[in-house]
Chains A and B, each alone.
Chain A
Amino acid sequence: MFRYFVRRVLQGVLTFFGATFIVYALMFANQTDPLQALAGERPLPDNVRQALTERYHLDDPFIVQYGHYMRGLLTGDFGVSLTNRKISEMMSQAWPVTIRLAVLAMIIAVMISVTAGIISGIRRGGPFDTVTLVITLILLALPIVVLAPLAQLLFGIQLKWFPATAGADPGLFQLILPAAVLASLVIATEIRVTRASVAENLRADYVRTARAKGLSKRRVIGIHVLRNSLIPVVTLIGLDLGNLMAGAIVTEGVFNIPGVGFNLFRGIRTEDGPLVVGFVSILVIVFIVVNLVVDLLYAVLDPRIRYE
């Protein structure tokens, strides 16, 4: 356990530096006029240019620039947007909304996909499984740019079941439709992995033992098979977080939800480079940290790794 822990944390740290370095390099390396790139097509007043040069230490060698950038990230100083707002402040306003949305989406996704995945895995080839297979295919094929506007059109504007856009401080009800849209991004993969995992575990020898012990079918599946089957699903949920974050950019943009994704959406559209760099950096960090946590959780769930 300890060795696994240390190894994973070290890997996480390495990934962290590698990933942030790449993101930073993507933004700044070898650019003839990085500041103009940051600002996009807007004219750049001299005083802003001055401030940005200082901010990003553009007069220093690249690696030093990266060092300054990292120090900023690690001390919670994410910089200032072109509209002169502190990114850390925008973040702290946006996070609660996005977390609410993501948690709601995760709950919806896990509830649906674990239930459907288990039933499909048990009754492979049956009508439920076939229907589920078709639905997962369709869900996989619906990119978020298709799903979000269409869901808004259908359920928000035409059927009027849910509000078409969320307000400044959206409550649970306003968030249901966008959360469902986000959830459907990950439901398909989660169903498939649950199904495959259940199917594989049902064939395992220990299931035969459990039946030989005179346990009811319910207990064999509900306890023995399920506990094993959910291990890969939990890992997947960590990976899915990256999808959710990416999906949140479009979803929050379409539904006008003032979260992290919305800020990023607006930042991209208004070509606010510093805002984009700041937000993306933070999201990358969150993604890496969550995946590290999930990996450690994996060890808690699977004793074979825990006592390696």
Chain B
Amino acid sequence: MTDIKAEIDVLPGLDSSARLLEVEDLRVEFRTPAGVARAINGVNLHLDPGETLAILGESGCGKSVTAQAIMGILDSPPGFITGGAIRYRGVDLLKLPEEQRRKVRANHIAMIFQDALSALNPVFSVGFQLGELFRVHRGMSRQDAKRRAIELLDMVKIPAARQRINDYPHQFSGGMRQRVMIAMALALDPKVLIADEPTTALDVTVQAQIMNLLAELQRERNMGLILITHDMGVVADVADRISVMYAGKVVEEAPVLDIYARPAHPYTKALLESIPRLDLKGQKLNVIKGLPPNLTRIPAGCPFNPRCAYTRDVCRADPPPPQYDVAPGRTARCHFWTEVAGNEPAVS
């Protein structure tokens, strides 16, 4: 299979020694009648094979938009990529012609969406929607494609795959539907998988099953996984590294254990303090005060300054804090990271 694939889509300039995925200074804005919303303002990310990178952040901070920009499926208009680079094995995807960009999707980089019920087409059977990938990208016959689709359903452990292949999305339970989504994303054996809140729409018990399945499949295939989530508990279990986003920037990036032990950005710290903890049961949660900024009017200086407990004058003036190197493989965008990281997380 691998060699067929290599034959079909040789990307010019593909360099197997280059980083699997590298996002550099990505900028995205939405031009709407209400003004220009700067959703992504210089995001840097990187990912290696077999690695899991978690992206965390409040609603609206730009997690999904980042994912869509990497996939090349931003709604445009209103969304426009205004700067930066997205390199896959050394190839800048933003410079590829659309036809080649299209072939990167599903073949090299694939994505799982949050709500499988609306993300699957309601009027086609799951067999059709899975088989379509093989027919379009591999030129397979209907029959072969269907055979492969059944294999995929088996792979994601859907019982009686052969009987269910002609069923429609609404006939599956939520968990099973998300398995179908996973099967669809992994059909062409991509090297990078982006999962945008893959379990948010599911029951707690089903969430764990889906996460386990994802982790297992990732291990088998040595894929790079970008996991977008709100669930700090899940992050601690499966992620290797974490990028915390705020107002369209990565404000802190660190290996997972370091970040839990010693956050270097006030926002990360506040996020961690807002997790309900068993040992502190009964105490009031520390919810982050205030609201994220309006993306059409991001405050000058550090975007977090109106909500930050460490704010000083320098935070309110441009330039915004640069990306400070906290430790090897660790960065934070805070002028006072030493102070923040020095304190133990406040447990009051």
The short answer to whether A and B are in direct contact, CB under 8 Å, is yes
B171/A212 in contact, CB under 8 A: no
Known pairs A212-B110, A307-B168; A206 contacts B133 (CB<8 A): no
The reply to whether A303 and B170 form a contact with Cβ atoms under 8 Å apart is yes
Stretch at the interface among A15-23, A65-73, A213-221: A213-221
CA gap between A206 and B115 in the complex, in Å: 10
Say if the beta carbon of A208 comes within 8 Å of chain B. yes
Contacts of A211 in B (CB 8 A): 71, 73, 105
- Whether the pair A213, B123 counts as a contact (CB closer than 8 A) is no
Tell me whether A214 and B102 are in contact (CB under 8 A): yes
A209 an interface residue at 8 Å Cβ cutoff? yes
Question: For the complex, what is the distance from the CA of A209 to the CA of B133, rounded to whole Å?
Answer: 12
Is A212 within 8 A of B121, CB to CB? no
Check A206 against B122 for contact (C-beta < 8 Å): yes
The residues of A that contact B105 with a CB separation of less than 8 Å are 211-214
Q: Is the CB of A209 within 8 A of B107?
A: no
Contact B121 A209 (CB under 8 A): yes
The answer, among B68, B118, B168, for a CB contact under 8 Å with A206, is B118
Once the chains bind, are A204 and B136 in contact (CB under 8 Å)?
no
Mark contacts of A296-308 with chain B using CB atoms, 8 A cut-off: 1 yes-contact digit, 0 otherwise.
Answer: 0000011110010
Indicate if the CB atoms of B113 and A228 lie closer than 8 Å. Answer: no
Complex interface: chain A residues within 8 A of B123 (CB): 227-228, 231, 301-303
Q: How many B residues touch the partner, as a band? A: 20 to 34
- Hey, which chain B residues are within 8 Å of A215, CB to CB? 102, 132, 136
The total of interchain contacts (Cβ-Cβ below 8 angstroms) comes to 76
- Which residues of B sit under 8 angstroms from A227, Cβ to Cβ? 121, 123-124
Task: For A231, list chain B residues within 8 Å (CB).
Answer: 123
Interface of A is mostly: helix
Residues of chain B contacted by A219 (CB below 8 angstroms): 136
Contact at B103–A206, with CB atoms within 8 Å? no
A205 touches B (CB below 8 Å): yes
CA distance A301 to B103 in the complex (A): 31
Contact present for A206 and B106 (CB under 8 Å): no
| A268-B181 Cα distance, complex, nearest whole Å | 62
- By beta carbon, the residue of chain B nearest A303 is B168
Bound-state Cα–Cα, A301 to B124, Å: 10
Collect the chain A residues with CB atoms within 8 Å of residue B104's CB: 214
Name the contact of A214 in the complex, choosing from B68, B120, B125, B137 (C-beta under 8 A).
B137
- Known A-B contacts A228-B123, A301-B123, A303-B170; the reply to A212 vs B118 at CB < 8 A is no
Q: How far is the CA of A212 from the CA of B73 in the complex (A)?
A: 7
Q: Is B119 an interface residue (CB 8 A)?
A: yes
Q: Mark B141-181, 1 if CB is under 8 A from A, else 0.
A: 00000000000000000000000000010110000000001
Whether the Cβ atoms of A208 and B73 lie closer than 8 Å is yes
**Residue pair A213, B132 in contact (C-beta under 8 Å):** yes
Query: Which chain A residues have a beta carbon within 8 Å of chain B's beta carbons?
Result: 204-206, 208-216, 219, 224, 227-228, 231, 301-304, 307
